[in-house]
């Protein structure tokens, strides 16, 4: 047993040293993965690049008078405005072309439907018995049209339309 207080404090000190050594041995050294190193390096390079650009801008403006700075700013704004207007015009032209294409498509579909309806009307007229109830009714109906084909087209269009 230890009765001397000084020996006791020396032993405590030695024990704490040994504990610290053990802790250092247990904790592995900090290692970063390659991707972490790369991303940190990338961020650092980006920061350096941005900093250099800012310094270059400051150097550029240091020798200029306020009127020169103002003139350069006006020129930059004019360029930006021109680019914006150009993009707006391009977008407007694109929309116009799309609308024209849709109109052409719609017109083509209408023409195709009209041709189909005309063909159906011709077939219907050929198969129509003029002396049947439907034939007599259609003869009366078609009097207000310039031709029986026109009347048949109108009649079939109404029959085929979704109501």
Q: Express each pLDDT in 126-136 by its tens digit.
A: 999 999 999 99
Is the pLDDT at 53 greater than 70? The verdict is yes
Sign of the torsion angle spanned by Cα atoms 6, 9, 15, 18: negative
Q: In this predicted structure, what is the pLDDT of residue 27? A: 54
pLDDT at 4: 54
Across 36-41, average pLDDT: 68
Distance between CA atoms of 75 and 81, rounded to whole angstroms?
10
- Name the residue among 106, 111, 120, 113 with its Cα closest to residue 153: 120
pLDDT score, position 37: 57
Give the CA diameter of the chain: 138
Position 100 pLDDT exceeds 90: yes
The percent of residues in the chain predicted with pLDDT above 70, rounded, is: 80
Label residue 93 left, alpha or beta by phi (over 0 means left) and psi (-120 to 50 means alpha). alpha
Per-residue buried b or exposed e for 147-156, using 16+ beta carbons within 10 Å of the residue's own CB: ebeebbbbbb
* Segment 133-141 mean pLDDT: 93
The pLDDT assigned to 33 comes to 47
Instruction: Name which residue leads in pLDDT, 61 or 2.
Output: 61
| pLDDT band, residue 1 (cuts 50/70/90) | very low
pLDDT of residue 110: 94
Which range, 31-35, 57-61, 126-130, is most confident? 126-130
């Amino acid at each position: 047993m230890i009765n001397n207080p000084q020996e006791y404090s020396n032993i405590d000190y030695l024990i704490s040293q040994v504990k610290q050594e053990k802790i250092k041995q247990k904790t592995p050294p900090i290692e970063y993965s390659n991707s972490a190193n790369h991303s940190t390096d990338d961020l650092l390079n980006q920061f350096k690049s941005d900093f250099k650009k800012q310094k270059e801008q400051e150097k550029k403006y240091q020798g200029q008078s306020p009127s020169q700075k103002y003139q350069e700013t006006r020129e930059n704004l004019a360029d930006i405005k021109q680019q914006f207007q150009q993009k707006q015009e391009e977008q407007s032209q694109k929309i116009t072309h799309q609308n024209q294409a849709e109109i052409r498509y719609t017109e083509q579909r209408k023409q195709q439907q009209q041709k189909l309806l005309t063909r159906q009307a011709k077939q219907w007229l050929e198969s129509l018995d003029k002396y049947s109830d439907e034939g007599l009714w259609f003869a009366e109906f078609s009097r207000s049209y310039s031709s029986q084909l026109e009347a048949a087209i109108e009649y079939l269009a109404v029959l085929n339309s979704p109501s």
